[in-house]
Amino acid sequence: MLDNANYTPRLKKAYAETIRPAMKEEFSYKNDMMIPRLDKIVLNIGCGREAVKDSKKAKSAQADLTQISLKLEDLLRKHWVLIQTLLKQYV
């Protein structure tokens, strides 16, 4: 998956294809550089030694991270106005 040079993370793709155009239309941005951008979203979990010994724990951790990322993607789609406001405050 990561070996492929054309791989684009799912959340980044959703942001680029759905949220950015909607923000440009909603806020009447004249230039794409005016639209706030997300550089990186990192999800991390510490599995510890148990995951090395037991593959079920590693798979469980992977399933948990998948669920979190799907919920995050859903939130990005639903709440892009809130994201816009927060990005303006911190960027």
pLDDT digits (tens, 9 = 90+) for 70-87: 887 777 777 776 766 766
pTM score, two decimals?
A: 0.44
Q: Where are the domains of the chain?
A: 10-86
Task: Quickly state the pLDDT bin for 89 (edges 50, 70, 90).
Answer: low
The set of long-range contacts for 60-66, using a CB threshold of 8 Å and a minimum separation of 24, is: none
